[in-house]
Amino acid sequence: MTGAQLNIANGVREFARATPGTVAVIDGDRTLTYAALDDRASRLANALLAVGLRPGDPVALLSGNRLEYCEIAAGLAKAGLPMVPLNPRQTAADTAYIAGHSGARALILDPALEDRAVDVGFTLPLGPYYEAVLAGAAGTDPWVPVGEQDPFCIAYTSGTTGAPKGVLISHRSRCLTFYCTALEWGLGPGRRTVAVAPMYHGAGFAFAYASVFTGGTVSMLRAWDPGALLAMVERDRLQSVFLVPTHAVGLRELGLAGHDLRSLDTLYFNAAALPVALKEWVLSAFPGVGVHELYGSTEAGVITNLRPADARRKAGSVGHPWFMTEIRVVDDDGVPVPRGTAGELFSRSPFLMNGYLDNPAATAECTTADGFLTSGDVVVVDDEGYVTIVDRKKDLIITGGVNVYPRDVEEALAAHPSVVEAAVVGEPDDRWGERVVAYVVVRPGTELRPDALREHLRGRLAGHKVPKEIRPIAALPRNAAGKVLKRELRSAG
């Protein structure tokens, strides 16, 4: 006996029976109860199957955060159709590549993004036509047999090295993530959260959809706006909120005055470790709120979590391995390194991807024979088992034969009162091989004085780590996950 198969639609099915009148999704003036969410998901599933799609056929989704995102995800899961989330910021060429590589047989489209759409044979635009299609479809659940190891999603990486790769994420991986998310960060029945990060990205989807999978209520923030988020916390009495560090920067710049945030009890951060100075602001600005930092990747899921009890004592760390997760830290030869020594992080858990779509070579390159996977990050594990991300392995700078990890320099820069945030890269240098270059976002009303910044750094860093050049920049380039795109900075230099 194998028991019931995990499926990301099951939470919606369960709470449609248990709490049918509870509001599952809020999007401005629109709301959706669990009964309605379940019914609409079934209608969408039946409508897609009726036009000739078969279980296993991928369906692309091009949309920002909005009420329909949850019902589409559940509907595709009910029909056994893997979802291919598309980034609205991508070019039409990127969209075409992903649609073609994934084999998408249909596209569900926000009409506002029509200029980035691609013809895959069948397009279902959101709006009146979408509503008419749902109204004309059967509301009975199709209960298509779907294996829990089948992909619910094909998520494409940002393509930092070559073409984007399609990450196969199973129903089992994501369902277990939802349950653990509810346990760790306070989602579940009666709990209220918000979709801040884009739902087309893995973390944004996981932490927003986890709410409806576990019986809570999620509010949709259509686009990042710190003032709108604070108003939404107050209006919807939000309790748990997932953010990335750049969101904290925006909140710090705006300030929190004038908003009733007493409902808020949990903040959890991902994408990159919070700079220590920024984390201190978060802890001071949200007294009594539990602040977590987690670390993970599209391929590996959540890997570690730093819990509130250690937020200050271990600032800069991303905590211990998460539920059901084993880690291994190794040198370039794959040999485990001792505590306190930098090495490449590998993890093994039920959250790992099934592999890269149609790319066995890339899958083999990042996995070991015994099931561990790396995402290319260098870490140090201290004597208490806390993990600190040193940097991306590919971002290591070698200047004059000496290793420089950019994060060390970025932390020191962030401690200067005139610096909002900074990113450090290596650029070719005839003498040193590479030179350390810092891109700095300066606080409004202040002046960038490179000599003063270098003097600030010399008291905190070894001489070879002090940037040879410090360049002002209006904003750091980022991907959908909030991670800085250092390749764009290097190419700009």
**Position 424: which residue type?**
V
Please report the pLDDT score of residue 52 as a whole number. 97
Burial class (CB in 10 A: 0-12, 13-18, 19+), 122: middle
Contacts of 465 (CB under 8 A, 6+ apart): 404, 408, 409, 436, 457
Query: Within 10 A of 54 (CB to CB), how many other CB atoms are there?
Result: 12
DSSP 319: B
Question: What does residue 228 show for φ and ψ, rounded to 5 degrees?
Answer: -65, -40
Nearest-angstrom CA–CA distance, 474 and 318? 28
Please report the pLDDT score of residue 116 as a whole number. 87
Averages of pLDDT over runs of 10 residues in the chain (493 residues) are 87 98 98 98 98 98 97 98 93 89 98 92 96 98 98 83 86 98 97 96 95 98 96 98 92 95 97 86 97 95 97 95 98 94 96 97 95 92 95 80 82 91 88 87 87 89 89 88 83 70
Q: Where would I find the H helices in 255-358?
A: 276-285
Nearest-angstrom CA–CA distance, 189 and 160? 39
* 60: β partners: 84, 107
Which H helix or E strand runs over 11? Answer: helix 10-18
Q: Edge-to-edge, what's the strand order for the sheet holding 355-356?
A: 123-125, 106-109, 59-62, 83-86, 151-156, 166-170, 355-356
Q: Start-end ranges of CATH 3.40.50.12780 in the chain?
A: 10-223
CATH superfamily of 396-492: ANL, C-terminal domain (3.30.300.30)
**Position 186: which residue type?**
G
Nearest-angstrom CA–CA distance, 58 and 144? 15
Which two structure tokens, joined as six digits, stand for 176?
């277990």
Residues 10-223, CATH architecture: 3-Layer(aba) Sandwich (3.40)
Nearest-angstrom CA–CA distance, 297 and 115? 30
Please report the pLDDT score of residue 68 as a whole number. 98
Q: What's the predicted TM-score (pTM) here?
A: 0.87
Q: Start-end ranges of CATH 3.30.300.30 in the chain?
A: 396-492
Give me the count of residues in the chain: 493
Which two structure tokens, joined as six digits, stand for 381?
């594990």
Name the nearest CA neighbour of 13 among 40, 34, 43, 27: 34
Please report the pLDDT score of residue 158 as a whole number. 66
Do 442 and 418 contact (CB within 8 A), yes or no?
Answer: yes
Which H helix or E strand runs over 424? Answer: strand 419-429
**Position 84: which residue type?**
V
DSSP 318: -
Please report the pLDDT score of residue 199 as a whole number. 95
Please report the pLDDT score of residue 160 as a whole number. 45
